[in-house]
Each structure stands twice: as C-alpha cells, then as structure tokens.
Chain A
Amino acid sequence: MDSALDDVERAVKETFGRFFASESGSAVVRAAEPLGFDRDLWNKALDLGALRMGLPAELEGDDADMVCLAIVAAELGRTVAPIPLIDSTVAARSLARSGSDEALVALKSMLAGDEVIAYSPRPIVNGVAPLVPSGAIADRIVAIEGDSLVLARVETTSRSAPNNLGSMPLANCAIAGERVRIADGVEAAQGNARTLTEAKALTASAMVGVAERSIDIALEYVKIRTAFGTLIGSFQTVSHRLADSVVDIDGARLLAFKAAWAAEHDSENAAAIASMAFIFATEVARQCSGHSLHFHGGIGYTMEHDIQLYYRRAEAWPLAYTSTEREYQHLADLLYGPSGQEA
C-alpha cells in the first residue's frame, strides 16, 4: 500500500486548500444560510475546474481519479463550503458513463454553470424524489425511477426549501414531466450503486475535513484559554480526547482515501469500503466537532462561534444520504450476505 500523496495529488490539495480557505470563510458560509448555496462561490469553483476534473478528457474533463476528488472533498469539508460539489460530481460522472446524447448535452450545461444537476440517493416514487440533498437548488436530478436510472427535470415553481439542521438545500423534488432514461434494468441498478458508492466515499472525505477543522479550532482555543489558573489544554480530560481525535482522524482519512481508490480500482470491495468509510468518518466528524464544541464551554453553544457550523453539518450532511445505524446493517449485508438467507 502507498498512502503518500503523489505530485498531482499534492498539487490538487494545495490548489483547492487555498481556494476554499480564501473563498469560503465562515462569513461566506453564514451568508449562504439557511439555503446552504452560494452561487458566486459555485461559479468560482466551476471556473477552477472542481466539477470538470472528475470527468474524462474526451468530455472536456481533466481525467482526475477518485482519490483527487476525495482530496478536494476533504478541503471542501474543512470550510463546510456551501456548494453542491459532491452531489454534482457523482451525477456528472453517472451521466458521463451513460454516454447517451442527452446525458452529454446535460453535462455541458452543468459544466457551464447553466444548471445544477444533482444526484438523488433515493428513488423517484409517484413522481417525487424525497428530501434530495441538493434538491432545493437542482434544476434536474439523476435518480432511480422504477427499473430505470433517469435524468429528470425538477418542478421548481412550487418547490419549497425547508429550513433544516444542516443548512443544506434539502428539498422534496416533484418531477416536472420531462425524464431522460439513462439506463435500464441491471445496468441502471449497477450504475446507481456505483454512484452511491462514489457519493459515500466523497462524503466520507468531506467528513474528514469537518473533523480536522473542528480539532484545529479546538487546539487553537485550548492552547490559549485558561481556567483554574492553567491552560485547559493541560487537563487530561481535554488533551486525551484530542489525542484520541487525531488518531481517529488519521484512520478516517486513510479509509476515505481507500474508499475513493477502491471505487475505481476494486469493484469487488468498493461498496463495502465506501460504506465503512462513510460510517467511520461520519462518527469521527460527529465526535470531533462535539468535543470541540464542548471544550469551548458556553461560547461553543452560541451561534456566534464557528464550531456550531461544523457540529450541525457533521450530523446533517451524511444523514441526508442515510443514517449510520442503517448503514451498519447495509454494510453487514455486503459483508455477510443479506439477513435471513440460509446458507
């Protein structure tokens, strides 16, 4: 195994690390609430090639592999940037794989920023895709409907964007009639499974970024805050939780990268590893942001402090896909076969 960043991976990390740090500060994140979408930031990210990079060269993409996309997702997570990059990336890759004319036209329109096309992890039933993670800002969605994978136009005139814990553009998406079938039958199911695997792997990576930044915020504070006449970072109840946190983050980062790698190179195990990474990185992000909030005492509970931005999203972003408790059962299905099937 080789967990070292190569030159390309390092360059991607530096470029996007700088971009999100300078363009997606907490003022930007706050200003985009409650919808959780900053169109200006999205356009800048598109200009930088954030969406294009994960597409094949023949479709105007940069042929970046999933590990590079995971690196970008982690940097996005560090600033909880209010853009639908993960949902759009996996939708775009799904369209690119289908190769149909309509899909490729849609792809061009996405890359140009003319419309947002997002992935829905839940199928369209009776004409509605429920609580699509980027549903409140999507013009079209990629989702399963019946036995097909479809590209469907969202009815936007009657759409509402309910306020939610994660300040995300979460919405029920009614479909406005127009659907393009991307794939049918087994091909549709497999295509959707792969997209879900990619979404979980990249969300895991974003959670690693959330966890890292949460602990950075904690470290900055416990090294200057004194109580009972000493720095609170010298209390073992604080320092030991921080020690556990950085080790957990090491594991989550490596597992998220492995999930991204496997999504491309190990089709046999990709779904299980993505599931593991999704569960683990989510748990780590929740714990790290929770610890960090708590170390701040009362100030950590105020909306004025940035840690709440992370604490809410560590819970909400993954949950918009699925609950970790349900994901554990799904992972067991992948590892040990479906429940109730006698050998």
Chain B
Amino acid sequence: MDFAYQDDDTIRQELRTFLDRELPDSMRESGFGWDYDRDFNIAFTAWQEEHLGDASDADLDAFADELFWANLDLRTTGTTGLIAKILSIVGTDEQKAEYLPKFVRGEALICLGYTEPDSGSDVASASTKAVRDGDGWVINGQKMYTSLAGICDYVFLLTRTNTEVPKHKGLTMFIVPLTAPGVEVKPIETLRGHPTYMTYYTDVRVPDSTRVGDVDGGWAVMRVSLDAEHSAGQKIALEARLLTAVGWGNRLNHLLKRTVRWAKSARAEDGSRLIDDPMMRRALARIAIDVEVIRLLVGRNDEDATKPGVGNGKKLYETEAYLRASTSLLEVVGPIGLLEFTSGEAAADGWIEYSFRDAPVTTIAGGSSEVQRDIIAERRLGLPTSRRAASKSA
C-alpha cells in the first residue's frame, strides 16, 4: 500500500493567470459556477487539454480547488463530458464524427433526458414514446429535471420503443436537438436558486442516424461501463478525471477551507474568534474526516474497488457527507450563516448557505440514496430487497 500525495502550486497559478485573462465579467460576480458563456467554454476546454493532459490526481485536486476559489465549476459541462464518453464507446463512426468534436471542444452541450414525471429513481419505467416512421422516428412525451436544457444544444433522450417486453428491454436512446420542431423547454425553479427544466416532445421527428445503440438496447447504453479501458480520446478521458476532481471530496474540502478562513477572522458575541469555539472545531474536524474518507473511497484501487455495489457506496457516502456537512455548519454558525453570498457579510462567502440548498439534490440525482442502499444490500450483501419483490408483484 502507498498513500503518498504530492502537492504543487503550479496548476493553481496557471489557472489564475488564464482566468484573469479570459473570464468574462458576466461570470465573475455570479457565484457557484452556473453561468455559461460559449466562447469562454471553448477557450477553457482548450486550456484544460493543454495544461491538464498529464496532470496527477493531486494537480487535478488543486485545479478543482482553485476553480472553486474563483466561484466557478464544471457543472455546465459535466453531462456533455459523460455523454461524449458514452458515445465514444457505443456510437457509430458517423455519430462520433458528427458529435464528438463539438462536445470535446466545448462548442456544443448536451444534457440528460432520462427522468420523467412518473419515473424518478425507477428510470427504466420511462414512457416517452419513439415510433418508427419511414427512415426516422417520431417522439412524443415529456421529461422532468432535464437539467441544463436551457443552455444545451442537444438532449440525450431515453425513449420507450417497445411495450411488449419487460421494462428494461424496450428502451432506446436518441440524440435530439433541443431546437427541433416540437421540443419545448420550460424552467422549473429549484432550492439551489438555479433552474432545472421540464422538456416536452410533441411529434418530434428525428432521423434513425440519431439513435444511439440498438433499438430496444437503450438500457445497455445507459449502463455502459464508463470505467472500462477503451479507445476514448485523451480529452474524453481527461473530462472524466476532471468530473471526479470537482466531485464531493474536493467540494467539501473547499467548503471547509472557506469556513476555516472565515472563522479565523469572524468573532463571536463575546469577541472571541469563532475558530476557537469548541462546537465549531468539532464540526470542522468532522468534515475534515469525511474529506479524507471520500478521497480514499474515490482513489482506491484494491481488488474490492470494482465489486458490485462498491461504486454505489462511494456515491452514497460522498453526497450524504456533503448534506451532513452543510447542515452541521449552518447550525453551528448561527444567524450569520443564513445570509446569501450576495451579502458582503455572509459566513464563508455564502458557501455554507448555498451548500445547504445545493446538497439535498445530490443525494437524489444520479440514483437516490435509498436506491443506492437497495443496490448495495442486494448486489454486495446478498440480501433480498423489497424493491425487487414489489416490482415482481406489480
């Protein structure tokens, strides 16, 4: 075993220099990385490829932290990176030629169209229909929580193409332009102050060349192993590493740093520094432990790391830790923690208040904690699950 970790400031300085030069003013003040600017995205994507191509894990941790100091994130490009990776594995040569360059260079964005009003965590019960029509398909239905649809060019759409087979076996994936006639995008405000979207599809016509994977093979496309070695380009492989770097461990570590920095200058009513308050110290120390645990769960490479349910455990732990941390800090900090980042007085630059609003969805999106626990119980512990029993009897 070896847990060596080499930290280095070079990446931080290079990123600062780049942002000083390229970041549009519109993105400087807004906070938490939800703003999008296509030209900046293209420049930033090129910068990443140039400066982070050979980066170590420690370099990427430093990159993520520095990005967070600039109140930026990779949230607007995350789904595009994920889908580019899926396409690089299962896409046709034509699809790779048409879409991958745009996605990889940051010229176009694509979002996930999986969830529907009646299918949340049980995503395979999707009912948005795609029906053959000559050389193409006609799509009708609606999707819920199509996050980022307001800034994306395409949606990676999960549709029902067969109702005569078990639910997992009648699904097909398409790449649908959000500008196609019949597509409607409506924002839904969320707790974190940034909208998600409802998307409606009415007689939307797409050619068969937009189908990804086999007809009725959509489940396999969604579940393609993203960890496996394959012929993905260097930038796609980097994108996956970058998404890990801006994951919960580094995010939590940054929340911790912001809070520590603030608590060293902020004063309690009796004039003492907040960092000296034993309750504050306990809360911070607890989060520091969770940061270590998450980094270990993410970085592990032992033989158990790839066993069924272990990845689910990582997702469960990191998002629950984020939720726990945001709540515990808010409650220790008191009234000053309630102020939003737009106030100059906000505790930890508003990161605590924002985290409280941001964290709940992380334990829901991408498979809720309850579903993760079911999967761990079933696949890792060999327990009978009530979920399976219920779907059999249905």
Stretch with Cβ within 8 A of B (4 or more), from A91-99, A249-257, A296-304, A312-320: A249-257
Q: Is B102 an interface residue (CB 8 A)?
A: no
Q: Is the interface of A mostly helix, strand, loop or mixed?
A: helix
A314 to chain B, nearest CB (A): 18
Interface positions of A from 203 to 250, Cβ below 8 Å from B: 219, 222-223, 231, 233-236, 239-240, 242-244, 246-248, 250
With a CB–CB cut-off of 8 A, which chain B residues contact A27?
A: none
Task: Tell me if B386 and A236 are in contact (CB < 8 A).
Answer: yes
With a CB–CB cut-off of 8 A, which chain B residues contact A233?
A: 377, 383-384
Task: Tell me if A5 and B286 are in contact (CB < 8 A).
Answer: no
With a CB–CB cut-off of 8 A, which chain B residues contact A336?
A: 260, 264, 275, 281, 284
Bound-state CA distance A5–B301 (Å) is 10
Task: Tell me if A234 and B1 are in contact (CB < 8 A).
Answer: no
Task: Tell me if A2 and B384 are in contact (CB < 8 A).
Answer: no
Task: Tell me if A243 and B278 are in contact (CB < 8 A).
Answer: no
With a CB–CB cut-off of 8 A, which chain A residues contact B310?
A: 250
Stretch with Cβ within 8 A of A (4 or more), from B9-17, B222-230, B366-374: B366-374
Q: Is A3 an interface residue (CB 8 A)?
A: yes
Task: Tell me if B286 and A328 are in contact (CB < 8 A).
Answer: yes
Encode B285-299 as 1/0 by CB contact (under 8 A) with A: 110110011101101
Task: Tell me if B313 and A250 are in contact (CB < 8 A).
Answer: yes
Known: A234-B386, A342-B273. A1 touches B3 (CB 8 A): yes
A224 to chain B, nearest CB (A): 12
Q: Is B268 an interface residue (CB 8 A)?
A: no
Q: Is A262 an interface residue (CB 8 A)?
A: yes
A272 to chain B, nearest CB (A): 8
Interface positions of B from 339 to 394, Cβ below 8 Å from A: 370, 372-374, 376-377, 380-386, 389
Task: Tell me if A231 and B384 are in contact (CB < 8 A).
Answer: yes
Q: Is B22 an interface residue (CB 8 A)?
A: no
Which residue on chain A has the smallest CB distance to residue B272? Answer: A340
Q: Is A261 an interface residue (CB 8 A)?
A: yes
With a CB–CB cut-off of 8 A, which chain A residues contact B384?
A: 231, 233-234
Which residue on chain B has the smallest CB distance to residue A241? Answer: B373
Q: Is B165 an interface residue (CB 8 A)?
A: no
Bound-state CA distance A17–B92 (Å) is 51
Which residue on chain A has the smallest CB distance to residue B299? Answer: A1
Encode B302-336 as 1/0 by CB contact (under 8 A) with A: 11110001100110110000000000000000000
B84 to chain A, nearest CB (A): 27
Task: Tell me if A251 and B293 are in contact (CB < 8 A).
Answer: yes
Q: Is A6 an interface residue (CB 8 A)?
A: yes
Task: Tell me if A265 and B4 are in contact (CB < 8 A).
Answer: yes
Task: Tell me if B381 and A243 are in contact (CB < 8 A).
Answer: yes
With a CB–CB cut-off of 8 A, which chain A residues contact B300?
A: 1, 3, 250, 254
15 A–B contact pairs at CB < 8 A?
Answer: A1-B57, A1-B301, A3-B300, A5-B303, A234-B386, A239-B374, A239-B377, A242-B383, A261-B3, A265-B4, A279-B285, A328-B286, A332-B284, A332-B285, A336-B260
